[in-house]
Amino acid sequence: MPSTILVIEDEPAIQELVAVNLTFAGHKALRAATVEQASTLIRAELPDLILLDWMLPGSSGVQFARKLRTDERTRDIPIIMLTARSNESDKVEGLEAGADDYITKPFSPKELIARIKAVLRRRAPQLTDDMVEMGGLRLDPATHRLTGRRRDGDAQTLEIGPTEFRLLHFFMTHPERVYSRAQLLDQVWGDHVFLEERTVDVHIRRLRHALSPTGHDYLVETVRGSGYRFSTAAVRTEGGSAASDVELAADLR
């Protein structure tokens, strides 16, 4: 799945090299040469990951990493520091400032892409192509296929729309946690997209419908007053999709 990666690097040749390699690896690359440019880009669209040069004109990369970590909106963005320094104390300072990883220049494009993948796998698994299996469902982001295990043990391919697929991918990589409609909009649709929270309800309903042929719709729980949760501890109600039909009726009122 393509990720949006912001490259903050003031040396044009390195910025170009990194951006080209990111694009080649299937990511969307945003570029900034200064902290000010980066801040403007971040205000417009929250990136999935930031590659942050240590030495920048004006404000240092480490200072900017600290700032990103104190802002609620940017606190969870994975950060990889790029630097010419290889001093151990610098590395510690970068990691203490909130960086997730650290790459010393010069680095190979292959190493850069591998580090990005490793950080995303740890911090944002819904952005990787790793297969996820849970609660009798198997979701494959690479082929965009979803299968559910029937009660007789056979796997059945489930028809699912692209938005519901992304929503389920997020849920399956973040199980047992309650997410509000606003949080799901940020995580699945992107925080630069302005949609009514009711949109989430519509896609939850479609998701449950997509999971109902193998009786897995019960995994998507409504948590009254809070939002939704994907839980393998959810109770399967008799009659399978009865619960979502009740909610469907409630939504339509």
8 A C-beta contact, residue 95 and residue 64: no
Please work out the total of residues on this chain that contact Ca ion, with binding judged by CB under 5 A.
3
What residue has token string 């970590």? Answer: 69
Q: 11 vs 130, which CB is nearer to Ca ion?
A: 11
Q: 10 vs 247, which CB is nearer to Ca ion?
A: 10
Q: Output the smallest distance, CB 129 to Ca ion, in A.
A: 31
**22, 25, 49, 53: residue in contact with Ca ion (rule CB under 5 A):** 53
Any contact of residue 90 with Ca ion (CB under 5 A)?
Answer: no
**55, 95, 113, 248: residue in contact with Ca ion (rule CB under 5 A):** 55
Question: Mapped to the 3 state alphabet, what secondary structure does 116-140 carry?
Answer: HHHHHHHHCHHHCCCCEEECCEEEE
Residues 188-247 that bind Ca ion (CB under 5 A): none
Distance CA 80, CA 54 (A): 10
Q: 7 vs 200, which CB is nearer to Ca ion?
A: 7
Residues 6+ apart with CB under 8 A from 12: 33
Q: Output the smallest distance, CB 60 to Ca ion, in A.
A: 10
Q: Output the smallest distance, CB 113 to Ca ion, in A.
A: 21
Residues 10-49 that bind Ca ion (CB under 5 A): 10
Residues 6+ apart with CB under 8 A from 93: 62
What residue has token string 């994907």? Answer: 230
Chain residues in the site for Ca ion (CB under 5 A) = 10, 53, 55
